[in-house]
Amino acid sequence: MKFFVDTADTKDIADLAATGLIDGVTTNPSLIAKSGRPFAEVIAEICALTSGPVSAEVVATDYDGMINEGRKLAKIASNVTVKLPLTLDGLKACKTLTGEGTQVNVTLCFSANQALLAAKAGATFISPFIGRLDDIHLDGMELIHEIRQIYDNYLFDTEILAASIRTANHVKLCALAGADVMTAPPAVIKSLVNHPLTDKGLETFLADAKKAGIKV
């Protein structure tokens, strides 16, 4: 499973990229706004930090506006993936942009039927929002399983990009469900390495090495 980091903080992206664990980045207007910097400038800097896909979202809601903004975003860097909302105009724009060779991430997916439409429109990625479904007492992971089965049934190339990841357990369940990609905030990705028995074991090894006077 590929790991994307969901942030516009270039320091966090650089730190995680140095571990070799990050395969791409997802952003949205809310994350970019937090940086307080020009939109295109932030996207360009992020694209320079990773060779993987960098999702940059349009703010237009009509077809013509999305096409205009999508083409501008695609010119920022070769690894920009244009992020479009899962609406009829968004799907139409997806068909046009993918036809031009631009990668597209169709976002705000909350049903298997929506995911089916995105695949038929040629989306590179579909982003089902797990955490937001959990928030309204629906099973976000069930949606990942449903999309996986549908895509496998018809051999769609669209990759399932599990989004709105809140916990380390979400990451594990996405991997078990067969998601192609997951995107999560830096803190969630960093938390995956943590385990109390790892900490305890390392503490014991270091204590024993000190007693024995071991130096490398």
Active site residues: 83
Contact 162, 181 (CB under 8 A): yes
The number of beta carbons lying within 10 Å of the beta carbon of residue 99 is 9
Q: What are phi and psi of 144, to 5 degrees?
A: -60, -45
Q: Round to whole Å and give the CA distance between 120 and 104.
A: 13
Q: Round to whole Å and give the CA distance between 59 and 66.
A: 7
Segment holding 130, helix H or strand E: helix 130-135
Contact 105, 26 (CB under 8 A): yes
Q: Round to whole Å and give the CA distance between 160 and 2.
A: 10
Q: Round to whole Å and give the CA distance between 89 and 68.
A: 13
Q: Where are the alpha helices (DSSP H) in 36-87?
A: 39-49, 63-74
Q: Round to whole Å and give the CA distance between 42 and 10.
A: 8
